[in-house]
Amino acid sequence: MQEELGGLTQIWMKWAGPGRRKGRSENELHQDMSDEAADLLGHVLLFAHLNDISLEATI
């Protein structure tokens, strides 16, 4: 999960301005950010499932 959060943070920094874009357009970076957010969500859901955490009950 930490790795996925780091990936999302890195892409967000590029998209928001302070990071180096390395030739990526704003639209490409936004798609990358969407992909990373989905990866992170998947890991959170898997973590909750494997540890018998009911996110529905908690929310």
Q: What is the pLDDT of residues 1-56, one digit of tens each?
A: 999 999 999 999 999 888 788 889 999 999 999 999 999 999 999 999 999 999 99
Query: Whole-prediction pTM value?
Result: 0.83
pLDDT at position 21 is: 87
CA 48 to chain centre: 17
Q: How far apart are the first and last CA of the chain?
A: 20
